[in-house]
Each structure stands twice: as structure tokens, then as C-alpha cells.
Chain A
């Protein structure tokens, strides 16, 4: 069953078309990676799907609700972990988690319970009382995803989660994301091909606002006749091999 059905989704800024007639189905529990060069339209797509910006044309239906006609219902089912860490710097880890839980309607008691559960799941127990501005980049990213999950979303958007992280922090975060597979539908944008290979069920490659190819790693390699995903990506994106 489809968690997300995207039909003709388009976003224009003046004469610039950031996303051009996107059509795509993403299944429930799937981890779908959106790949693309800078400016390919990945973040704009995520922003439209998470009701942050309105499409110029087209629509997307998320678990039965349209982003155009019923954005408030969509917002109850989704959450987002933005490109930047997006945490409140002078609040503690626990306060950040409880804040988001409360905003999504959880009682004070449930917020505390959810915060404890998520902090354990993401290895944040030892830093619960620390202000988030004192945490390492990797810890902040983990907190960011934990904050996105505390509302128990059915669909989670993760925008470039490992930018600027060292190898160890990246691998730890991958492990956290892997835990979520099949439980939550995840749309992940990234520049890192090894991240896609490690995590994604299917991949969509965007080029100049258009969805140029969709498939599993093996399918994309097969479609392009390339030797590996990187070559397949370069070939689909119109680069030089």
C-alpha cells in the first residue's frame, strides 16, 4: 500500500522551476532515498511534502490526506528532521524532546515517558540534562532525529542527516536510522551514495527538478549499464564518467 502518492508535483519560483512534474509512489514502511546534485530539487520536494511550502501545481496524498486540501491532517502524521540540526540551543536534551512531544499534543506525563524512550533508543541518556549547544555534531543530529520521532510519525522526512559528521558519528546515525526501517516510512535526502546503499530500499535520482530515475541500487545499475551506484548516478545526472 502507498504511503505517499505524488502526482504532477511542481514548484516554480518566478521563471525558475525547482521541481518539475514529479510523479512517484512510496510504499508504507519503505525507506526511500532522494539523490541529486545541489539544486536538483530534493529539499524543495521535501518542503512541499511536509506542507512547508505550497506546490505551484500537482498534489501529493500522504496516507489518504492531500497536502493541498488537508495540510493540517498531514502535519499530524509526519515529522521532519531538517538539514540543519534544528534544536533549541539553550534547552537541555530532555527539554527539547519534551517540547516537541507537547507541541504534538502529548500530556506532560506522556511527553516525559516518550522522551525517556527516545533518549535510550538514540543513546542520549548520558546527556539528557545537558544544553544541546554543548553537544557534538553527531549527538545533535541524533537528537534532531529523536525529536522528529517523538511525535510517533507515520512518515518521516530526513534531510541530509550526516552532512559534516565524521565516519564514526555517521555510522552511529545509520544504525539509528536502520532501527526505524519497516516501522516508519522514511524519505531521506543525501549526497552520499554509500549512505544510500547502506540504508535505502529504493532510490529516486533528481536532476534539474525532474525525477530522472527510480529503482533499487541493482535496478539503477542495470538501467545504466554502470559498474556501481556512483557511476549509475553520474550517468543519470548527465555527468562525465
Chain B
């Protein structure tokens, strides 16, 4: 009950901020249509499917979840710095109420954001199928990873620092190293090796494999994302619980 009340509050707090709506919903769609313009500009005889909707749609959907680090981090950091969280810490709410109350609305939003991105992609020409639903499910651990990163930063930093790290820095890192903005094969070398170590590229590749129906291609990438998500989410829970117990009050 307390968890759902808190989750409802967090949903309203995020959705009533127009900047969140733009980045959460608008920006992935802008990106999708931009890639479509680039794809349309490539002559057919070039036989280059680099920016085809089958490749860009899952990439953009996966990249879009990066903004959930910003949303979760900013929300938590603001709740801390305005002492709203102190008020709630003095209430009978448990750590579980807080963690799930912050996470559940963002995961629901991630699923909705992914669905809208794929529906928009369908308007451009992406064939929808059961695989699309699978891709949306595959996106959720990537969303958990970003929510975990956000909650970790929000537990430790103030809202300005969270804005810089989860907004500017993380979205750029996720964008470049996911291969969504520029295919990694075009750059290669150390850049590609670093991208392979990080989870962002794997989140995109798992979603691409799901959309294309390449089921055996999902797991190698998906496992890496799951591992990263588990580690960052566990770190976030640990940092939050320490904060709740007043170790760094």
C-alpha cells in the first residue's frame, strides 16, 4: 500500500515535468525520424542498411532508457536535498517501499516508452510482430541498469551533480558506446573494444536480435546487460539503505 502510494507520487512527480516528457518520449522519436531521414538519403545502389529502421528502432528504444537514470537520480537527489525524504524516513515506510516505489514507475514508463518508439517505427516501416513484444521485454533490464545508476547517483550526490553525471555524461557515453549514433564498426579499434566491455552496446544488440527474430543472438548480449543491471541495482540499494540508516546523514 505504502509502496504503491509512493510509486503513484513518483509517477506524478516525473510526468508533470515537461522536460522529462520531452526527453523520455520526444527525444527518442526525434532521433528515430532523424535516422530515417539519413536512411532515406542513402542511395539504394549503395546497398547500405546501416540506418535501416530494423536497426535503428531497437537501438533508439534501448538508448531511450538512458534517460531513466536522469529521472530516477534527479527525483531521489531532490527528495534528499529538500528533506522530503527525511520526512518519509521518519514515517513507517520500509526500505523496500522506497526502492520499489522509485523503480516501478520508471520500469512501467520504460515499457511504455519502448512501445511508443516501436509504434512510431512501425509508421516508418518497421514490421510489428511478437518479436517486437519480446524486444520491449528485453529492454527492461537495460532500464533497470539505468534506474540503478540513477538511484546510486541520487543516493550519493546532489541534484546538480546528478544532472551533470546522469544527464550530460551518461547519456553521451551510452549514446556513443551503444553504437546507436554511429555504428561501432565504422570506428573500430579501441573504441569498439571499450564498447564491448560496457553494457550499452549489448543492450542495443539484444534488442536488435529480438526484433529480427535471431533468438540465439539475444542471450550473449542479454547476459552482460543482466550482470551490469544486477551489480548497479545492488549498489544503489546498498547506498540507499546506508543513507536511510543515517550513516551519512
Interface residues of A (CB under 8 A from B): 47, 50-54, 72, 75-76, 78-91, 95, 99-100, 102-105, 131, 147-148, 151
B189 interface contact, C-beta 8 A: no
Which residue of A50, A85, A88, A104 contacts B9 across the interface (Cβ within 8 Å)?
A88
Q: A35 to nearest B CB, angstroms?
A: 21
Check: B43 CB closer than 8 A to any chain A CB. no
Instruction: With CB as the reference atom, state the residue of chain A lying closest to B9.
Output: A99
Q: Which 7 interchain pairs have the tightest Cβ spacing?
A: A53-B246, A82-B83, A84-B83, A86-B83, A90-B16, A102-B5, A80-B90
Closest to A102 in B: B5
Q: Could you tell me the distance in whole angstroms from the C-beta of A135 to the nearest C-beta in chain B? A: 14
Report B244 CB to chain A, min CB distance, Å.
9
Q: Are B13 and A90 in contact (CB under 8 A)?
A: yes
Interface residue ranges, B against A (CB under 8 Å): 1-2, 5-6, 9, 12-13, 16-17, 78, 81-84, 86-93, 245-246, 249
A residues in contact with B2, CB < 8 Å: 102-103
Q: Which residue of B lies closest to A78 (CB)?
A: B90
- Cα A100 to Cα B92 with chains together (Å): 11
Task: Indicate if the CB atoms of B91 and A103 lie closer than 8 Å.
Answer: yes
Contact status A86-B87, CB under 8 Å? yes
Q: Is the CB of B92 within 8 A of A103?
A: yes
**In the assembly, what is the distance between CA of A38 and CA of B15, in Å?**
38
> Can you show 22 pairs from A to B with CB atoms below 8 A apart?
A47-B246, A52-B86, A52-B90, A53-B246, A72-B92, A75-B92, A79-B90, A82-B86, A84-B82, A85-B83, A86-B86, A88-B9, A90-B13, A95-B9, A99-B9, A103-B2, A103-B5, A103-B6, A103-B88, A103-B92, A103-B93, A105-B92
Tell me the bound Cα distance from A225 to B241 in angstroms: 49
Q: In the assembly, what is the distance between CA of A50 and CA of B87, in Å?
A: 10
Residues B91 and A100 in contact, CB atoms below 8 Å apart: yes
How far is it, in angstroms, between the C-alpha of A102 and the C-alpha of B5 when the chains are bound?
A: 7
Across-interface contacts of A95 in B (CB, < 8 A):
9, 12
Contact across chains for A90 and B83 when beta carbons are under 8 A apart: no
> Looking across the interface, which residue of chain B has its beta carbon closest to that of A111?
B5
A88, B12: Cα distance in complex, Å: 10
In the complex, what distance in Å separates the CA atom of A83 from the CA atom of B87?
Answer: 10
Q: How far is the CA of A132 from the CA of B210 in the complex (A)?
A: 44
Kindly list chain A residues whose C-beta atoms are within 8 Å of the C-beta of B12. Answer: 90-91, 95
Chain A hits for B9, CB < 8 A: 88, 91, 95, 99
In contact, A52 and B83 (Cβ under 8 angstroms): no
Complex Cα distance, B2 from A104, in Å, reads 8
